[in-house]
Amino acid sequence: MARQTIRTTKGRGRLYDSILDTVGDTPVIRINNLAPEGIELYVKAEFFNPAASVKDRLALNIIEAAERSGALKPGQTVVEATSGNTGIGLAMVCAQKGYPLVVTMAESFSVERRRLMRLLGAKVVLTPKAEKGTGMYNKAVELAKEHGWFLAHQFETEANADIHEATTGREILGDFDGKRLDYFVTGYGTGGTATGVARVLKKERPEVKIVLAEPANAALVSSGTPQERSADGAPAVSHPAFQPHPIQGWTPDFIPLVLQEALDKNVLEEVVPIPGPEGIEWSKKLASREGILTGISGGATFAVAMKIAESAEKGTVILAMLPDTGERYLSTPLFQDIPEDMDEAEQALSKSTPGYQLG
């Protein structure tokens, strides 16, 4: 009998001063069961961040950049519009640093997100779903002006893409040091990941093709229609190509100013629309075939990576971003056909032995 190897761990070799020091350095993981033969397919698992999403990075940098500049005063209330993940990240950061936080969020986003933010000490102000992303954005602006609060400005601030240039992009360079990498695939909410990582890859790994994914029924970038903006770069109106879609965290009803940098510099090789149901399907496949639990946005990004993989030459290496965890989607279509009670097969298993059966 072959000798079995027991997995061991040694700790990280350091003690952390706070939860905030654990942000970043998320793992790149190989896809073994779903990748086409001859293709190396990897995912960057951002749910390893402490509040379980890629938005922990920008939340931390927005607050610390504002502290450094003096824009955020001790004890001042922070306010931001968010579909959830940025708000959860900000709630974690503000809880640790002692800032009150108010989040504005359209009522259409999953209830577990608002409950998580409230658990972390934030106040959550809901806005009508008919007003879409611009409605929750404008509400945050109103509250900041009325009360003298610090508006985080995730869709416009330089601190957003800067942190992905300084961390996410550098991590990718380090993990693929001396190794082939042909494609980097990401969706966009604010555009910080795409823009920040593109700054690094285009400079130091220009052979890597950067592919942007967006919802098929809200293909704002693919439409070619420019975003109307106010003087400060904020959206002036809802983008005409937007329609409601199930990929929470992706593509508000405007093209964020942070993403505009990547568009203006033409650093994206391709923009690929993906239907929401395909994102849901690939999220489920990642869970059931790879043991990787990611949300609909991660499934949609992975769906685009799989489209590339299916037509790529053998030896191609692809990296896809997984922005968050599937647990953030319990009340969404991702889980709507996952039963709470036993199905017929599970009932049959229960009855296959005499004891401990439910009545």
Catalytic residue check, 297 = yes
CA-based nearest residue to 250, from 294, 199, 325, 301: 301
Q: In this structure, are residues 204 and 172 in contact, taking their beta carbons and an 8 Å threshold? A: no
What lies within 8 Å, CB to CB, of 279 at 6+ separation is 246, 247, 296, 297, 299, 300, 301, 303
Q: In this structure, are residues 217 and 275 in contact, taking their beta carbons and an 8 Å threshold? A: yes
Catalytic residue check, 55 = yes
DSSP characters for 266-300?
Answer: T--SEEEEE-HHHHHHHHHHHHHHH---B-HHHHH
Tokens of 118: 């409230």
53, 83, 110, 297: the catalytic one is: 297
CA-based nearest residue to 60, from 88, 84, 81, 82: 88
Q: What letter represents residue 262's amino acid?
A: A
Cβ neighbours, 10 Å, residue 92: 27
34: three-class secondary structure by DSSP? coil
44, 55, 132, 139: the catalytic one is: 55
Q: What letter represents residue 189's amino acid?
A: G
The Cα–Cα gap between 96 and 289 comes to 37
Q: Computed from CA positions of residues 86, 190, 61, 146, in that sequence, does the dihedral angle turn out positive or negative? A: negative
Cβ neighbours, 10 Å, residue 323: 29
Catalytic machinery residues: 55, 297
